[in-house]
Chain A
């Protein structure tokens, strides 16, 4: 079927043109008014991390914590949750990321008590409960390690589109686990709010957590 000019489509096109013009006009106005007010007062504060509200699923999982206790997302309701997937045999990126979260919590002072960091192992074979406990203990009181069966881990990773893959084993049986490195931030109701990437500094994480807590 070919498009044909009819009075009806013509009217539609006119409405479209008018609407676009109005939008552009409004855009131009708001732009100029922004420009005018910028010198008088600073723009409203914005999140420095990526806003994932309504895009990423809520916090949900069935895992075992680093004390050996079966836990679900409900156990962490009431806390702002920082969720990170990693593995303890990772000498560089994982501790660097966890240290960045620890730094952000330090910057938050007493507000850090409202935050829980969850370190989810993507290498449950080597990351036993004991290894995870010793590992997370090194980064402060607000971090707990989670591990699950391969299936549980896979389900959790899939939920947040986190991918991971085991590299080739060397002659000592060691292997690298490639994995996504983002930090997902959830509010006390378990709703996904923000995503921090490797390039986001600790200051951005603490800044945005303060904003979420309403104390920016």
Chain B
């Protein structure tokens, strides 16, 4: 009896979850459609050296969105980093979030913010496109293909 009850509950929960997911997806699409990503690229370095991912993100919506991270199935670890100058030395700090106000853009560009992509899972070649998922604070995600460029791309 207990088992049947649990199963029913599970089924019911799944139904709810399904509807909730569908609703969320709808909202996500509506919301994410106002976000646009331009010039997504990865600079390739040899071996297993960490790579930098760059892009521009524009918020065409009416609310501030907050980028909280990124992931990519081709890498074991992707972090948001910021290259900064401190006491005459260049260093990097980890970034947990970046707000993008309505109508504004943020830039992940050489010498500043970048995605630090580590532990590649297989060989990567120039010209490939790798799927990167951007994560936002409200739970929405956005998949963007990043083009792999040579060591000298900026």
Residue positions of A touching B, CB distance < 8 A: 88-93, 95-96, 98-100, 102-103, 131, 134-135, 137-140, 163-165, 167, 172, 174, 176, 178-181, 198
When distances are taken between beta carbons in the complex, the residues of chain B under 8 Å from A172 are: 77, 118-119
- Nearest-neighbour CB distance to chain B for A102, whole angstroms, equals 5
> Cβ of A92 and Cβ of B154 under 8 Å apart?
no
A172 to B77 alpha-carbon distance, docked (Å): 11
Q: How far is the CA of A177 from the CA of B112 in the complex (A)?
A: 16
Contacts of B50 on A, CB cut-off 8 Å? 89, 91, 174
Rounded to whole angstroms, the CA-CA distance of A176 and B116 in the bound complex is: 12
Flag the segment in B22-30, B84-92, B95-103, B129-137 that touches A.
B84-92
B152 near A174: Cβ-Cβ < 8 Å: no
CA distance A131 to B47 in the complex (A): 8
Distance in angstroms from B20 CB to nearest chain A CB is: 35
11 A-B pairs with CB atoms under 8 Å apart are A90-B92, A91-B45, A93-B92, A93-B111, A102-B152, A138-B151, A140-B152, A178-B86, A179-B89, A179-B91, A198-B85
Contact string against A for B residues 117-154, beta-carbon threshold 8 Å, 1 for contact and 0 otherwise: 11100000000000000000000000000000011111
B interface with A by C-beta (< 8 Å): 43-47, 49-52, 77, 81, 83, 85-86, 88-92, 110-112, 114, 116-119, 150-154
Shortest Cβ gap from B36 to chain A (Å): 23
Contact B111 A134 (CB under 8 A): no
Chain B residues whose CB sits within 8 angstroms of the CB of A180 once the complex forms = 88-90
Beta-carbon contact of B152 and A135 below 8 Å: no
A178 CB to closest chain B CB (Å) equals 4
Given contacts A178-B89, A198-B90, contact A134 B47 (CB under 8 A): yes
Shortest C-beta distance, B39 to chain A (Å), equals 15
Query: When the two chains form their complex, are residues A96 and B151 in contact, meaning their CB atoms are under 8 A apart?
Result: no
Residue of B46, B83, B92, B112 near A138 (CB, 8 A) is B46
> How close is A172's CB to chain B, nearest CB, in angstroms?
8
What's the least CB distance linking A211 to chain B, in Å? Answer: 24
CB neighbours (8 Å) of A137 from chain B are: 46
Q: In the complex, what residue of chain B is closest to A101 when comparing beta carbons?
A: B152
Bound-complex Cα distance A92 to B117 (A): 11
From the candidates A98, A138, A178, A198, name the one contacting B111 in the complex (CB within 8 A).
A198
Partner of A103 from B46, B49, B89, B152 at Cβ < 8 Å? B152
Query: Shortest beta-carbon distance, A141 to chain B, in Å?
Result: 13
Do A163 and B152 touch across chains, with their CB atoms under 8 A apart?
no
Q: Which residues of B contact A93 (CB under 8 A)?
A: 83, 90, 92, 111
Measured CA separation A182–B111 after assembly (Å):
13
Tell me the nearest residue of chain A to B42, going by C-beta.
Answer: A91
> A residues within 8 A CB of B150?
138
Residues of chain A contacted by B88 (CB below 8 angstroms): 163, 180
Query: Which residues of chain A are near B91, meaning CB under 8 Å?
Result: 167, 176, 178-179
Interface centre among A90, A135, A140 (most CB of B within 10 A): A90
CB distance from B151 to the nearest CB of A (A): 4
A38 to B118 CA separation, bound complex (whole angstroms)? 55
Known: A92-B81, A92-B114, A93-B83. A139 touches B89 (CB 8 A): no
Of chain A, the residue at the smallest CB distance from B43 is: A95
Q: How far is the CB of A143 from chain B (nearest CB, A)?
A: 10
Chain B: minimal CB distance from A197 (Å) = 10
